[in-house]
Structure 1
């Protein structure tokens, strides 16, 4: 028994001594997920929830055929500078960073280092990070170390438009250095208090037309472009924007999926752009509407309201509603009841006193009203062996009941109405 106790005591002495107050420390790589050759970008070595930090020694490994370290800068935790020394093996793709405060420990959240990387080629690289942290007393600080995958691609999806405009202007969604283009799905975000899309035209890539379809929502244009396997550089779509007021705003591409003609994903670097509007447009009205209830049933009368439509230099003289079920209306604020459940594409087209027209579409989902199940039985107080008669009293307000399934609770079922 004494030998066992002694061995256990030795085992305790050999275990590393951790700072109990530093549990839950996270060290991670923070950087953009995609870049393009020729670009520089910063990588931050973030640290969260650290207590009594004093020293660090860690390695960052990367694909040296894709990225190169250009600069390594001091870190900062809660506004206090964290000095460092570093070495870089550019052949192997290894950056070693050593830090020592030499003072009382620092607690909080911040970044240990800021590293400037240059993108020198195409491909992908997982920026792996591993190392050790210690507190002011030399105790090891346990931590979770997390790297990040970064892609480099020469394919660029870019918003191209003037930097300064007066009134209407054209924006191109351009693509560069793409091979075997098949299709793209994207959302174009804009501030609809500044801009409104007036026209969307097909693009051209490698001499082949890109066929586009789109829908316009509140401050967003959802666009699908379909190609024929062409490559090179060109235009996915051309969008004519009208302007509503003076100021600075941006057009941003988001939620992008690009595929080649074999349906394999193509990664692209996104470049968005801002524009300064000197003066608003004179021309097209703005179409918009709301409806109630927002989630109608096929027994509801849906009320449509176009009061959010307007014309900045005149007035609207015509409203044309297409309810998506073959019915139309020319009222300013009509009501409509759908005969059946389903999803309907409702389009409002407004025309102003100058003859200009604009439209907007929304999808409205109309649901079915569930039937109401009810029944009676007799006798009300049956005895064992009695025949019990069940009478269906169910109803369906927007149709008829076509199936009855009875479960008598004793393992028996019936599909008769009564």
Structure 2
């Protein structure tokens, strides 16, 4: 009798543990794919105009963002910055020169729906004015969603001159937890874009 009771107790305990484990797995949501931004640069040939593309993958509810392009001004000269697109949604970009080797690109989608998926944030035209390395990198990147919160993003090095760079995961991965400072940054970014649009009208 005691043996049967002990066997039933062990069986019940085992079933309870299995049920608890199943509940734990059910409670954990599926891991969303990581949002990444990469910069692709074709081979540089003196006298040519080349186009670098800033690509984004697996973004959700993107609404606004900004990033800096840093390059070697002895080799490259920016001649244009064109709008990007994700699916059928155009990414309207504005840009300005910060200094001789840095350009800042900002964007803010109209409306409150945002956009999800993969595509290009911008395409940048460079005139190759001399031989050498372009040293093109992307820095100070920030993507925000429709709730004015930062999107957790890994920003990659450029694939400069046709050679792949390594991703700066440790240094460029944005924090996933949005704070008051981040929300202020997104509000400020939206205001800057609105002012830029107002000046163009």
State the TM-score, normalizing by the size of structure 2: 0.61
Work out the CA distance in 1 between the residues paired with 2:53 and 2:79: 14
Which has a greater percent of strand? Answer: 1
Work out the CA distance in 2 between the residues paired with 1:47 and 1:146: 10
Q: Kindly indicate whether structure 1 or structure 2 has the higher relative contact order, using CA contacts under 8 Å at least 6 residues apart.
A: 2
1:138 counterpart residue number: 148
The Cα shift of 1:21 comes to 8.1
Aligned pair 1:147/2:143, yes or no?
no
1:69 touches 1:88 (CA, 8 Å); kept in 2? Answer: no
Structure 2 residue matching 1:139: 3-state secondary structure: coil
Aligned pair 1:80/2:77, yes or no?
no
Q: How does 1:173-184 map to 2 (within 5 A)?
A: none
The Cα shift of 1:35 comes to 1.9
Which of 75, 80, 101 matches 1:66? 75
Greater Rg by CA: 1
1:21 touches 1:51 (CA, 8 Å); kept in 2? Answer: no
Q: How does 1:135-284 map to 2 (within 5 A)?
A: 135-151=145-161
Work out the CA distance in 1 between the residues paired with 2:95 and 2:126: 14
RMSD, aligned α-carbons:
2.0
Work out the CA distance in 1 between the residues paired with 2:76 and 2:118: 27
The Cα shift of 1:54 comes to 0.2
2:83 touches 2:92 (CA, 8 Å); kept in 1? Answer: yes
1:43 counterpart residue number: 52
User: Which deviations, in whole Å up to 9, do the C-alpha atoms of 1:13-46 show, x marking residues without a partner?
Assistant: xxxxxxx9865011001221x2211011111110
The Cα shift of 1:128 comes to 1.1
Aligned residues: 131
Which has a greater percent of helix? Answer: 2
2:102 counterpart residue number: 94
Which of 117, 120, 127 matches 1:111? 120
Q: Closer, same or farther in 2 for the Cα pair 1:115/1:138, shift >3 Å?
A: same
Structure 1 residue matching 2:60: 3-state secondary structure: strand
Work out the CA distance in 2 between the residues paired with 1:120 and 1:76: 29
Structure 2 residue matching 1:126: 3-state secondary structure: coil
Q: Which runs of no fewer than 5 residues in structure 1 stay unpaired?
A: 1-19, 153-418
Structure 2 residue matching 1:133: 3-state secondary structure: strand
Work out the CA distance in 2 between the residues paired with 1:39 and 1:52: 37
Work out the CA distance in 1 between the residues paired with 2:143 and 2:32: 10
1:76 touches 1:110 (CA, 8 Å); kept in 2? Answer: yes
Work out the CA distance in 1 between the residues paired with 2:131 and 2:75: 6
Which of 91, 113, 131 matches 1:122? 131
User: Which deviations, in whole Å up to 9, do the C-alpha atoms of 1:216-269 show, x marking residues without a partner?
Assistant: xxxxxxxxxxxxxxxxxxxxxxxxxxxxxxxxxxxxxxxxxxxxxxxxxxxxxx
Q: Closer, same or farther in 2 for the Cα pair 1:112/1:21, shift >3 Å?
A: farther
1:22 touches 1:142 (CA, 8 Å); kept in 2? Answer: no
1:25 touches 1:47 (CA, 8 Å); kept in 2? Answer: yes
Which of 34, 40, 49 matches 1:24? 34
Q: Closer, same or farther in 2 for the Cα pair 1:76/1:69, shift >3 Å?
A: same
1:40 touches 1:119 (CA, 8 Å); kept in 2? Answer: yes
2:40 touches 2:160 (CA, 8 Å); kept in 1? Answer: no
Work out the CA distance in 2 between the residues paired with 1:60 and 1:126: 10
Q: Which runs of no fewer than 5 residues in structure 2 stay unpaired?
A: 1-29, 163-201
The Cα shift of 1:110 comes to 0.5
State the TM-score, normalizing by the size of structure 1: 0.30
